[in-house]
Amino acid sequence: MYDYDLVVIGGGSGGLACSKEAASYGKRVAVMDYVKPSPQGTQWGLGGTCVNVGCIPKKLMHHAGLVGEVMKYDAREYGWQMPENPELTHNWELMISNIQDYIKALNFGYKMTLHDASVKYHNNLATFVDAHTISCVDKKGKETQITAERFVVAVGSRPTPLDCEGGELAISSDDIFSLEKAPGKTCCIGGGYVSLECAGFLSALVMDVGIYSRSELLRGFDRECCDKLEERFLKDGVTIKKGVVPIKISKTEDARLAVSFSDGSSDVFDTVLAAIGRTADTASLALEKAGVNMLPANRGKIECVAEQTNVENIYAIGDVVYGVPELTPVAVSAGRLLSARLYDESSPQMDYERVATAVYTPLEYGCVGLSEEAATTKYANVEVYHRVFVPLEHSMVVGRNETSECFSKIVVDADTGLVAGIHYLGPNAGDIIQGWALCVKKGVTYREVIETVGVHPTCAEEIVNTTVSKSSGKDVSAAGC
């Protein structure tokens, strides 16, 4: 009856995983992916936000900043012959060229994997005609129609534009990773992880950076950890203003950008980066023609139960789904599990609880489970264990001590002994928190954590050595070896 058994709309990580999984069961599968340019005109290839304008270029630029710190602080102390006062300079253009070349190789690789998996790739913009039909428009404006038994909406989200006079002058995370020239003095608008990560690597690449947020930084994360991140930003020379929003952006005579803020202050920047949140990219899909209920008050998201919309044959995964973590691995797992349930008589559903994440700021932050604030709301009795430490590799480096104070924290339900959350600030945060994600997911107790033998000497062992409780009032600083 239909052209395909399944059509996935969106070629990001979740959509690609979902389509390939479905095809592995012998189903006729197609992926529709069309990248609408950003307001600044930035475009990219197959692979979605993560590979093109998200996780991949973000971490590469973060690493570029870390390399600079090693040369600035560590190299001489470890015996490398360096000038007494090295004048480190960074070639933005070379970095961007190399990163974009790498991303283009990934784009090509995704096309090949779809071909190898027998998934048909359509570089078309899809719009629903009814619950089983979509209209597809290619780059030349040619329109065709495709029918499918089932659809999966996996179009992800795009940066929310600034709603102020001159807001169109700001760039977003869609633009920063392919910017041809170094952004210079940069105003990062927003207090979420995108704003902080961009501010972090720009500062590490020796640029003047300011963070301007209407509320606290990293809302929803553990406040004690966020305060320590803020202290690190300030030590690095990053300006932070909270409780302010831009009310006007205008060009100056020398082609810079003058920004006026709600508190009456103003400043002039070379670049304004808007990172105030993301909106589901569903506006052009005409989902209402297929009967799908939308949540316009929640940035275009779709309400689902086990990834199924209110329409029997239409599903959604990833950032478009209301109330789920906006993380690439979450979309990938949800997509694979959905295809297995649809075509392999599988039953496991996506577990959106206790999902680990990492924030790639100069002082990296990894966490899984509840913050201290959330735990005290959920449980009657909460105990917190914490520890401050300096990584061994930084301990003998002059100049590192000011910025190398790292932190581990374990939040415990005191009545059951179960670990409610683990938080870590320090090098390799994502790699370290990954293993603890399984432990927290499986219901590890605090006693089991501290009875685990650590790998010495590592930063990871600081978690199993986190034995000082907040209630004791004892010193949390780690002793030497």
Q: Which active-site residues does the annotation give? A: 456
Sign, Cα dihedral of 197, 201, 204, 207: negative
Q: In the 8-state DSSP scheme, what is residue 71?
A: I
Separation between Cα atoms, residue 183 and residue 176, nearest integer Å:
8
Cα 157–Cα 161–Cα 163 angle in degrees, nearest 5: 140
How far from each other are the two terminal CA atoms of the chain, in whole angstroms? 70
How many residues make up the chain in this entry?
481
How far is the CA of 415 from the CAs of 280, 354, 446, in angstroms?
40, 19, 11
Q: Cβ atoms within 10 A of the Cβ of 171, count?
A: 20
Q: In the 8-state DSSP scheme, what is residue 185?
A: S
Would you say 347 and 373 are in contact if contact means Cβ atoms under 8 Å apart? no
Separation between Cα atoms, residue 172 and residue 57, nearest integer Å:
14
How far is the CA of 167 from the CAs of 110, 196, 208, 266, in angstroms?
34, 20, 21, 15
Would you say 367 and 373 are in contact if contact means Cβ atoms under 8 Å apart? no
Separation between Cα atoms, residue 197 and residue 365, nearest integer Å:
11
Strand partners, 308: 305, 315
Separation between Cα atoms, residue 445 and residue 441, nearest integer Å:
11
Structure tokens at 201: 């690597």
Q: In the 8-state DSSP scheme, what is residue 401?
A: T
Would you say 399 and 235 are in contact if contact means Cβ atoms under 8 Å apart? no
Separation between Cα atoms, residue 249 and residue 240, nearest integer Å:
19
Separation between Cα atoms, residue 463 and residue 303, nearest integer Å:
37
Q: What are phi and psi of 146, to 5 degrees?
A: -130, 140
Separation between Cα atoms, residue 366 and residue 430, nearest integer Å:
6
How far is the CA of 330 from the CAs of 99, 307, 421, in angstroms?
25, 12, 19
Coil vs helix vs strand at 392: helix
User: Which residues, other chains included, contact 249 with Cβ-Cβ below 8 Å and sequence gap of 6+?
Assistant: 162, 164, 165, 166, 167, 169, 170, 257, 258, 259, 260, 272
